[in-house]
Amino acid sequence: MTSKHTQTAVNSLVLLVEDEEALRLFIGDSLRNEGYAVEHASDGHEALEKAARLPVDLIILDIMLPRRNGFEVCRELRAAGRLTPVLMLTARSQVEDTVKGLKIGADDYVTKPFNMGELMARVAALLRRAPASGAPQPHIFRFGSIRVDLLGTEVTRNGKVVNLSAREFQLLRFFIEHRGETLSRDVLLRDVWGYGAKIQTRTVDMRVASLRQQLEDDPKQPQFILTVQGLGYKFRPEVLDATQARDQQQ
């Protein structure tokens, strides 16, 4: 029987960074069963070395690691300009860790203990979002008075920092990465929130409303994040300017 994630898994290399051997082997076997190639690292130093040397498509990163913890690894990856998706593993009791991880550049997280099906779904969603490897990807985007730094996970408006929540930043990044596409609520719930089945919720609409309130000159008549009646939302590509290098001070 063909796995629902097989198409995403083809040619995808996952770096699994976990110091607990039994869990590392279990996750690794599950990834291979889904069709992914897997490399292992058992500490933060080895993770950084392999991330720099190998054509990694996604990193599954435990927070509690020897030598360098997951936060340090993620921070160094982003400081080096690497946009490889990072999925962090954290204990259920450490809710503040998930927020910290997203703020420093992680793309998603799963709390332990987790359902393996949920982990595989989140891996597949991140790989669908990831840019094709190869040429450097833009990481600074501007629209109107807004500047978004995907690596620095910072948004400014007229030069002043906009304090988006971690999930709002993820949603904005997804809109930017898929600019011009009409994105249904189901797609947003699946690829931004990681929900695996259709559910009835106003979460997407409330987060979009919050983004508009903070980014649009007139939230009731948005110019950037548009509503496509009956279908979902779309980010206008023609308003966006992108660059690969950080701004130089004028």
Surface-to-core class of residue 80, CB atoms within 10 Å of its CB (0-12 exposed, 13-18 middle, 19+ buried): exposed
Torsions phi, psi of 192, nearest 5? Answer: -105, -45
pLDDT 10s digit of each residue in the chain, 250 long? 334 444 455 578 999 999 999 999 999 999 999 999 999 999 999 999 999 999 999 999 999 999 899 999 998 998 887 888 999 998 755 656 666 777 778 888 888 888 898 899 889 888 887 655 444 567 789 999 999 988 778 899 999 999 888 889 889 989 998 889 999 998 898 888 777 656 667 889 999 999 999 999 999 999 999 999 999 999 998 877 766 544 443 3
DSSP 129-158: HSPPSSSPPP-EEEETTEEEETTTTEEEET
User: Which residues make Cβ contacts (< 8 Å) with residue 93, sequence separation at least 6?
Assistant: none
Task: Tell whether the torsion through CA atoms of 250, 76, 137 and 108 is positive or negative.
Answer: negative
Query: Same structural domain for residues 88 and 194?
Result: no
Give the Cβ contact number of residue 132 at 10 Å.
7
Q: Are residues 27 and 107 in the same domain?
A: yes
Work out the burial of residue 40: count CB atoms within 10 Å of its CB; fewer than 13 is exposed, 13-18 middle, 19 or more buried: middle
Neighbour count for residue 6 (Cβ, 10 Å):
12
Quickly list DSSP for 198-248: ----SHHHHHHHHHHHHH-SSTTS-SSEEEETTTEEEE-GGG-EEESSPPP
The answer as to whether 250 is a domain residue is no
Position 229 in a domain: yes
**Interatomic CA distance for residues 154 and 150, integer angstroms:** 7
Do 107 and 160 reside in the same domain of the chain? no
In CATH, what number is assigned to the domain containing residue 13? Answer: 3.40.50.2300
User: Where in the sequence is the domain holding 120, given as residue range(s)?
Assistant: 6-129
Strands (E), 29-107: 37-41, 58-62, 86-91
pLDDT at residue 217, as a whole number = 93
The reply to whether 86 and 156 lie within a common domain is no
Q: Which of 75, 96, 129 is the last residue of a domain?
A: 129
248 belongs to a structural domain: no
Please tell me the predicted confidence (pLDDT) of residue 130: 65
Query: What's the Cα-to-Cα distance from 70 to each of 21, 23, 27, 43, 86, rounded to whole Å?
Result: 17, 16, 17, 9, 10
Q: Which amino acid is at 63?
A: I
In a domain, 180, yes or no: yes
